[in-house]
Each structure stands twice: as structure tokens, then as C-alpha cells.
Amino acid sequence: MNRRKFLTAAGGAATVALAGCTFGSNPGTSGGTDTLVVGTYSSLIDSPSSSPGAWLKSAFEDEFDVDLVWQTPSNELNHYIQRQQAGVDIEADLYLGLNPDDLVRVDRELDEELFAAAGDVEGRSDIKPGLEFDPQERAVPYDTGYISLVFDGTEMTAPETFEGLLAEEMRGDLIAQNPGSSATGRAFLLHTIKQFGADGYLDYWADLQDNEVQVLGSWSDAYGAWSNGEAPMVVSYSTDQVFADQEGADLAEHQIRFLNDQGYANPEGMAVFADADQPDAARQFMSFCLRPEIQGEIAVRNVQFPATESAELPEDYAELAREPPEPVTFTYEELQGNVSGWIDDWERQFASN
Amino acid sequence: MPDERAADAGGPDDPGERDRPVRRVRAAVERHSLPALAAGTLALLVVVFYYPVATVFVDAVVVEGRATLRVFAGILTDPFYLGELARLLAGEPPLAVVESALSPDRRLGIVGFTAYQAALSTVVSVAVGVPLAYLLARYEFPGRRTIRSLTILPFVLPSIMVAVGFFATFGANGTLNAALGAVGLGPIDLLPSLEAIVIAHAFYNAPLVARITTAAWESVDASAVETARSLGAGPFRAFRDVVWPQVYPAVLMSAALTFVFTFGTFPIVLALGGFELATIEVFVYGLIGDLQYAEGAALALVELAISLSLLYGYLRYEAAHTVRSGGARPQERRPLRPPSWSVRELLPRVGLAVYAAVALVLFVAPIASMVYASLSGPDGLTLAHYRFLLERQATGAAFQVRPWPAVRNSLLFGVAALAVALPMGVVVSVLTTRDYRGRELVDTVAMAPLSVSGIVVGLGLLRGLVFGVDVGGYRLAVGGALAIVAAHAVAGYPFVVRVVAPGLASLDRRLVESARALGAPRARALLDVELPLVWPAVVAGAAFAFALSVGEFSSTAVLASGTGQYTMPIAIERFIGRRLGPATAMGVVLLVVTSGSFLLIDRLAGDRVGL
């Protein structure tokens, strides 16, 4: 599952969405070995369940004569955008964990390039065609998640369509997240825009609000409330059962529903910073991440889906991690110039006092 | 320790020749220490607060290199933010606006709603906090000092922990509904709602009210009460005429602080109330998170203006209503067990018993739920989450957050911040209790760190300190442990000021004047005469400064550079995963460590010193 927005989420304990801190030793060179500095979100290296960071670092260092240093500023990609805006050097070579809407924000805010074109990255041709999201080919997808409903099957059966959520018997049954600050909340909002169009989604949300949808701050706020039985359905990831199974929880209480048989895809990409000190090592790392065995390992450890067709996954992986019959997503061009406005309009309607 | 200080200063012994240079130096230090400390305080404020914050606020009025009030005007005339008031500012006829403001479907706007929930939160916090202060200040019972020390514990709890505790306590399947169900009542649907936000704010702020009020109540002079009684005043009359005038400024002060805090509230709203109840700060975070600095900063300035006007109003009022007192001898505390079974003895104790039941539900149940959450897994009780902490400590990679360094750093930063904030706070208290024109303004400016939006401070620190400033071709950047301590001290000293200043102001001026007439420099008069008399307030201020440092999250995260500067709240944040278990276990570590620290602070400070 994609845990990145637990931390940028404006709700929950994430009391700061805009703070830069560096955990990880300071970049520099040690003993003649090159140092590759990779910026990423902190749960990639530090989550309590499983995170691929430590494994990726040692696997990469074993093979290449490079020190990999993780850098996890607490406001994530914004940290680098702000450094660029302030004219301060960027110490990282690569960013891992870039969403399409992140990229839209980068390009909206900065005149000069933050990222360089990816160029020739071995393995890139294996990426599933639907996942490439950068028209300028800077970002290379390395995994993807799908947003779905998770519901307690012992309490209810989730509706099969968006309209079904408006039924009287679903009143007060759904918990979603603030699209302004949470990746799942944003994906769910974008899915409704995909479904009802930019002219119709606000009406749909007005109906949803009448049916007492609860919109909490972050994914962890919402999931915590759902776990406590506040409501039987929550917007979450389609890999939910992987975690539930690890904990020995009753899978009947963790059912997945893809509304309209669709799941909103949230690909994550990596990109080399334009003024990277180690652009070659950074590209080496990108193609390393796209190898079939590494793709499988990242997918399992990050509990996401691989980005490539050729990924080597354990046989039982697909049993618990569900892929939607029809993945949907907005392209970079569709998001560009629209996503902030869509969210602002939603916020103004939903919070109107 | 002040008593040692008194002993070593009061001794006229050994006026030997060889001590003369030492004494001269000491005298010089004493003479210049207050101005020097004042200058240091100002410098620190400018570097870690005013300059960084100003860099962000400039964004509100300078857009694309040009000064403009366009962004401001946009917010002020937008009914979404200011409700019906915006229409007035937009130039609509006042009568029509008043008419619609009186209609049932009037719009409060985000600003109006934020003020509304802050007002509700303040009323509830005061209603919960003052009885606790009464209990702690006026009754003696086993464990009183421990409870008093622990009153500010809620203050340091990260909102995610509070949300966990609240869902487990007040949620649909929570303890409260189980208890109500057992007696055939309920269930009540409390979450998410405005009520839940207000109760959570009381959880955070009632302890603040209680602690500040207790400090004032404990400084009430017993002889004045006894004089009143000997002149024939009944206990109620003596309370109304002698005790209350010295206590209620503290109640008002803590109410003003509560309003300011709850006005700037944000994570609790989104965790327990939902986006329908979004406050100004939620939008400030959203806008700045989306890098829309101009709107974000302008909105934060509107927020700041309202908070500061309120503080300014309060401070003017405080300055005009200082009650002079000697403040020499505390009142005797009554035993909690009634000495006789008369109505007059029983009535307040029955009231306190009812209060205790409410406090148990409000304070103890959520904290107990957090502890329980840290011990429970899908198959019942488990130590797995604590085992995770141990494993992480033993095998965590260098780039991962580990529990022990987090505990150690929190304590180190806390003690260091306390050591800086306490002198700062006392110096500012002295400066703002002198009589001069515009002192309320100085006081308000000194209080600004309390009311500036957290994200603005964070962004300011990032751009102003971490990224640095170009000075003559060099980039001056500040980060790391010293900067963290400085930022914590700047955030914490206003508490010291707000608890200590009213006490200092109410002291009889003749005490200081006598000391000065006897040759004591200002600093020595302060240390030997004034501070011992307001000691409960100094201890409360110290506890607040420490608590603020331990609970602080955003500026720590911004200023930490390199490994090894993370604190307990950051560790909690890092350990939040799909399961909250490891985070709640770390939260319990935070609870235990900070409880121990508060007990230690109060123990070291002594229950009471004075004349």
C-alpha cells in the first residue's frame, strides 16, 4: 500500500505539511566511493510493517560501488521545490515517490527544470503502458496503487456503483479523506470527477454529503475511525487484505469494492534532479528498480503493484492484493491547470458554513 | 534552588579583602544582567521568530515583486471566509447585511465558524479547568502534588494519540457507549462532530486553565483572607472580595490563551470533526501545502490579527485591573475528608466528587485507552508493539528512527529549552510589568509566538534559517540542535511570561523598593524578593516551557539536520503505519517519560518557597 501521505496528510498527527528535515547522513563522499542521495517519503524507509528502503539500499550497494543515502524531508517533494524557489542547492540526485499531481505542482511552480529527462533507462520498455504519466518523460513509474473502498463484510455489503453510495441504507456508512492533503482522498475525488465530469462532480458530492459521508483529515484518521467501527466503509487501498492477512485479522471484515468495476490508479515515479551530482548513478538506480526481481521485491515490501509487465511476483500475491477490472486515472495534461481548482471548489462547497 | 540562593546572597559574613574583586564582578553582572538578558531575548526572537515569520507574511502583500493588497481584499470580501461581514466589507448596504445576518440561514464563514468553535471550546475548558484548580489549590489529599504535576500531561500528547484515545472512549463502539449501554442508556453518536472537537479541546486546554489558575490561587495571601474573616465577612464574602479578585485574572488569562489556541486549531478538527468543520488553519495548511503562498499567508495574517487583538484586549484589561497584594503566606489547604458532616463541609466535596467522575471520563479514559491500544492486537493483549520498539532500537538502520535517541533528544531539548525560556520569560515579565506607555503593545508583540499559525512558523524557519540568507555572498544558514532549542525556547517563553507576569504585577511595589533602597541591584531584588513570592507561577511556567518543547513537532522536523535530532513526537509520527500499534507504544513511552519529567520538575522546585 502507498503510505506516503500519512505524513504529508494535513490531518492526524501530521501537524506540519511543509517542513524540511533530513534524516540520513549528510551527503558527501566517503573513501572514494560515490554517494547517491535519494530523496523519498519517510514510510518508504521507516514504516513499522515493512518498507523497502533498507533492502533496496543494501541490494544496490552490494552490486554497485556506491553509497546510497536516503533523504526524507518531512514535506517531501515540496522541500525540493522550495529549495529551487529559494535558489538553494538541491543535495539529492534522485526523487523516488512522485505522483502525477506532484509533477503538475512542480511544473506550475517552477520556471526552470527541477528534473532532467530520464533518457535511456534499461527496462523502461517493460512498464505497463497505462502507467507512464509524464509527457516530458522525466518521471519513470516504479509502482502503482489502486484506490478502492474497504468494507466490513460482516456488517454490510458495499454498493457496486457510485450511485449506490447515495442509497438511503448507505446513510452515514462511508468515511473518506480530505482531498487537499491526503493521496487517497484526492484519488477518490478525482475518480468522482472522472465519473461525473468537472460539471457534475460537485452535485454528486452534495448528494453524498446529504447522505452523511464523513470526510476526515488523513488516511490514518479515516482508517482509525473505520477500525473503531465509526462506519462500515472507508476509502483506502485495494491491497488492504495483504496487511489484514499479516495481522491474522478476519478477512471478511476487510472486503474490497471497486465502484463501477474501476479503481483509480495512483502510479509512483522516480526522476533525476536536473543538477544532480551523480546523474549516472541515479540512472543506474532507476534501471535497477525496473529489473523483474527488484520490481517484485519492491511491490511486496511496499505492498503496491509493480510498474512493469515483467515483474517477478510471488504466486499468491494476486490472491490478496486486488487489481481492478478497469484501472482509471487522469493524465498529466488533464490534471494540469485543473487539479487545484477542482479541489478548491470541492473544499468551498463541502466546508461552507 | 532559590532557598540556597537566598542563603548565599543573604549572608553578610566574610567581608574579606580577597573577595572584593569577585564581589565587584558579581555586582557588575547583577547590574547589567537584566538589560543583557533583555537584549539576548530580543535577538533570539528576531532570529528564530520575527524574521522567519516576516519572510512568509511578505508573500501576502508582495505578489510577483509588486506590493499589493489584492490578495487581502480578496479574502476580506469573500463570504466563504468572513460570512455576512464580507458583504459589508465588499460595500453592500449595511442594512441589508444586518438583515441577512439576523436571518436563520446566515453564513458565519470559515473565520466566523473558527471563532464560534473557539468560544465554545474556551467556555468548556474553563468550566472543566477551574474546579480542578479549586481542588488542587484548596484541598489536601494524598497524591495532590502528583496530580498537580501531571495536569499538563495532555498538553504534550500528539493529536494522533488523542484521536486514538477519543475514538476508543467516545466512539460508536467506545467505552462510554458500552458503559451507557450497561445501564440501559445510549448509544450516543459523538464522533465526528463539533461536540467531539470541543471536548478534545477541553482535554488539551482545561489542564492549562487549571495549572495557571492553581498557581494564582496558591499565591493568594492568607492574612488578607483572615483579616476579612476577622472583620466579620463570611467565607463566601471573603472569597468574593479577597480571593476571587486575585484568582480571576488567571482564569481570564487562561481563557484568552485557550481561545487563541483553539482559534488556531487544526489536526484535531480533521481527526475528530471532519472537513465540514474546517477552521481557518485547515485552509492555511492546505494553501501553503499547495504552495499558494500569497493566499495562505494572507489568511494566516487574518488569523493572527484576530488572535493578537484578543490578546491585546486582554492585556490592556489586565494592566488596568491589577490587584496589589503582599502575597506572603499561602492559605491552609483543607482536608479532602470532611472534618464534620455538616452541609457546609459536605456540599463542596459532593460537588468535587461529581467533578471527579466527569474528569475521569474526560482525562483518564482517553489516556487509558491509548495505553490499552498499545497493548492490544487482533488476538487480545500483546506486547508485540513494544517488541517492535525494542527490535527497532536493536536492529534499526542508521537512517531509521529509533526509540532511545528520540527519548534522549526530547529530554535534552526540553531541559535546554527550559533553561533558555525561563530567564527569557522572567525578563519579559519584568519588562512588561513596569509602567510605561504602550506596554500592552510590547506585551502583545512578545506574545506573538503563541498566535502565529504553525505552518507559517515552519515555512519561515525553513526559508529563513534552514535555507539561509545571503549576506555579502555568503549563505548564512542555521539548523541543528541549537536552532531547535532556540525555536522551542521562543515558543515556550510566552507561557512563562503569562503565568509569572500577573504575579509580579500584583506584588506590593514597596517590597522591591525596600530591597533596592538597601542596595540590591534590580536582578538581585528579583531573585531574592519577587520570584520566591510568585514561585508557584515560576514552577508552572517552567513546566509549560518543558512540556511545549517535548510536545513540539513542526519546528523540530524543519530544523533537524542530519541524523540523530529526532524527538519522541517525530518517532510517533514515523511509526504510524497501517497498524497504529507501534505508534501508540511509542506514545506510551512519551507518556511515561514526560510524566516522570513533570514530577521531577515539581519535586526539584519544591512545593513552596517563600518568606
- Smallest Cβ–Cβ distance between B110 and the set A18, A225, A351 belongs to A351
Looking at this protein, which amino acid is placed at residue B82?
L
pLDDT at B258: 95
Minimum Cα–Cα distance from B114: chain A residue: A353
d(CA A84, CA A78): 10
**Is A220 in contact with B455 (Cβ distance < 8 A)?**
no
**Is A12 in contact with B267 (Cβ distance < 8 A)?**
yes
C-alpha distances in angstroms, A212 versus A163, A184, A231? 14, 19, 11
- For strand B469-471 and strand A255-257, is the pairing parallel, antiparallel, or unpaired? unpaired
- Smallest Cβ–Cβ distance between A221 and the set B163, B475, B555 belongs to B163
- Smallest Cβ–Cβ distance between B267 and the set A15, A48, A82 belongs to A15
- Smallest Cβ–Cβ distance between B557 and the set A26, A74, A243 belongs to A74
d(CA B575, CA B583): 5
Looking at this protein, which amino acid is placed at residue A172?
G
Contacts of A76 (CB under 8 A, 6+ apart): A4, A7, A8, A39, A41, A97
Selected for mutation to probe chain A from B461, B576, B579, B584 (highest A CB count within 10 Å) is B576
**Is B167 in contact with A228 (Cβ distance < 8 A)?**
yes
Residues A300-320, mean pLDDT to the nearest whole number: 89
The H or E element spanning position B259 is helix B244-263
Minimum Cα–Cα distance from B455: chain A residue: A16
Pick out chain B residues at pLDDT < 50.
Answer: 1-13, 609-611
Residue B199 has which C-alpha cell?
A: 471536548
Cα torsion through A256, A202, B87, B83, rounded to 10: -20
- The 3-state DSSP class for residue A74 equals coil
The H or E element spanning position B147 is helix B144-150
Asked if residues B519 and B80 have their Cβ atoms less than 8 Å apart, the reply is: no
**Is A49 in contact with B579 (Cβ distance < 8 A)?**
yes
Residues A71-88, mean pLDDT to the nearest whole number: 91
Return the bridge partners of A256, or none.
A150
The H or E element spanning position A96 is strand A94-98
Cell 495505553, residue located: B371
A and B: number of Cβ contacts within 8 A: 236
CB contacts of B467 in chain A (<8 Å) are 82-83, 86, 88
| Contact B83/A at CB under 8 A | yes
What one-character DSSP code corresponds to residue B289? H
Looking at this protein, which amino acid is placed at residue B103?
S
pTM of the model: 0.89
- Smallest Cβ–Cβ distance between B271 and the set A23, A221, A350 belongs to A221
What one-character DSSP code corresponds to residue B396? -
**Mind giving me the DSSP string for A28-42?**
--BTTBEEEEEEE-T
**Is A86 in contact with B458 (Cβ distance < 8 A)?**
no
| Contact B65/A at CB under 8 A | no
Rounded to the nearest 5 degrees, what angle is found at the Cα of B200, between the Cα atoms of B303 and B401? 85
pLDDT at B251: 93
CA-nearest of B110, B47, B48 to B488 is B48
pLDDT per residue as tens digits for the range A168-194: 999 999 999 999 989 999 999 999 999
d(CA B269, CA B265): 7
Count of beta carbons in the 10 Å neighbourhood of residue A50:
16
| Contact B82/A at CB under 8 A | no
| Contact B112/A at CB under 8 A | yes
pLDDT at B424: 93
What one-character DSSP code corresponds to residue B363? I
Minimum Cα–Cα distance from A180: chain B residue: B286
CA B353 to chain centroid, in Å, comes to: 27
d(CA B108, CA B22): 65
- The 3-state DSSP class for residue A269 equals strand
Radius of gyration of chain B (CA): 25
**How close A165 gets to chain B, by Cα (Å)?**
19
Asked if residues B463 and B520 have their Cβ atoms less than 8 Å apart, the reply is: no
What one-character DSSP code corresponds to residue A308? B
Q: To the nearest 5 percent, what fractions of chain A are helix, strand and coil?
A: 40, 20, 40
Helices then strands, each counted (H, E), chain A = 14, 11
**Is A43 in contact with B161 (Cβ distance < 8 A)?**
no
- The 3-state DSSP class for residue A237 equals strand
pLDDT at A236: 96
**Is B576 in contact with A347 (Cβ distance < 8 A)?**
no
Give the ipTM of the model, two decimals please. Answer: 0.88
Return the bridge partners of B421, or none.
none
Residue B173 has which C-alpha cell?
A: 463502539
Burial class (CB within 10 angstroms; exposed 0-12, middle 13-18, buried 19+) of B517: exposed
pLDDT at B529: 82
Count of beta carbons in the 10 Å neighbourhood of residue A293:
11
Count of beta carbons in the 10 Å neighbourhood of residue A304:
25
Looking at this protein, which amino acid is placed at residue B330?
P
| Contact B558/A at CB under 8 A | yes
**Is A351 in contact with B275 (Cβ distance < 8 A)?**
yes
Residue B470 has which C-alpha cell?
A: 545571503
Minimum Cα–Cα distance from A1: chain B residue: B578
**How close B465 gets to chain A, by Cα (Å)?**
11
Minimum Cα–Cα distance from B556: chain A residue: A21
Looking at this protein, which amino acid is placed at residue B261?
F
Residue B316 has which C-alpha cell?
A: 490592556
| Contact B80/A at CB under 8 A | yes
d(CA B569, CA B552): 7
Asked if residues B196 and B273 have their Cβ atoms less than 8 Å apart, the reply is: yes
**How close A120 gets to chain B, by Cα (Å)?**
30
Contacts of A168 (CB under 8 A, 6+ apart): A211
d(CA B486, CA B45): 9
Burial class (CB within 10 angstroms; exposed 0-12, middle 13-18, buried 19+) of B254: buried
CA-nearest of A221, A343, A156 to B192 is A221
Residues A218-227, mean pLDDT to the nearest whole number: 91
pLDDT at B323: 67
Asked if residues A314 and A292 have their Cβ atoms less than 8 Å apart, the reply is: no
Residue A62 has which C-alpha cell?
A: 552490494
Helices then strands, each counted (H, E), chain B = 32, 8
d(CA A196, CA A211): 17
Selected for mutation to probe chain B from A3, A15, A253 (highest B CB count within 10 Å) is A15
Contacts of B21 (CB under 8 A, 6+ apart): none
| Contact B393/A at CB under 8 A | no
The b/e string for B354-375 (b: 16+ C-beta within 10 A; e otherwise) is: eeeeebeebbebbbebbbbbbb
Phi, psi torsion values for B186, nearest 5 degrees? 70, -160
Residue B268 has which C-alpha cell?
A: 484535531
